[in-house]
Amino acid sequence: AQSVTQLGSHVSVSEGALVLLRCNYSSSVPPYLFWYVQYPNQGLQLLLKYTSAATLVKGINGFEAEFKKSETSFHLTKPSAHMSDAAEYFCAVSSDTGRRALTFGSGTRLQVQP
């Protein structure tokens, strides 16, 4: 069984401030982990993914995430928020043990204040 918990349904930061979106996972086997972003009225877009090659994963738009097995976490960060980062962010896990679908968290809506 696999699951994802995203702490904080809403996060608000000032433009230029650090962005930290939290994700904890549960998986009975080594996981594959993903972050997706959803802009208003659009589908989800892949930001980055962890597939065991490196624990620090860099994605698009300056985002990165670090896989920490001991903490079962895969938090998303960006050093300096931009107004265009305002969106909803989803963490997802796949154990790829035959069930080919991703399990998504409930999402975190990021607001960026000017």
Partner 1 sequence: GAGVSQSPSNKVTEKGKDVELRCDPISGHTALYWYRQSLGQGLEFLIYFQGNSAPDKSGLPSDRFSAERTGGSVSTLTIQRTQQEDSAVYLCASSLGGPTNYGYTFGSGTRLTVV
Judged by the rule CB under 8 A, the positions of this chain that interact with partner 1 are 4, 6, 9, 32, 34, 36, 41-46, 49, 51, 90, 92, 94, 96, 99-107
- Give min distance, CB of 74 to partner 1, in A: 14
d(CA 82, CA 20): 13
Select 52 or 84, whichever has its Cβ closest to partner 1.
52
Length of the chain: 114
d(CA 74, CA 110): 17
Strands 64-68 and 2-7: unpaired
Select 73 or 94, whichever has its Cβ closest to partner 1.
94
Return phi, psi of residue 39, to 5°: -85, 155
- Give min distance, CB of 52 to partner 1, in A: 9
Select 15 or 104, whichever has its Cβ closest to partner 1.
104
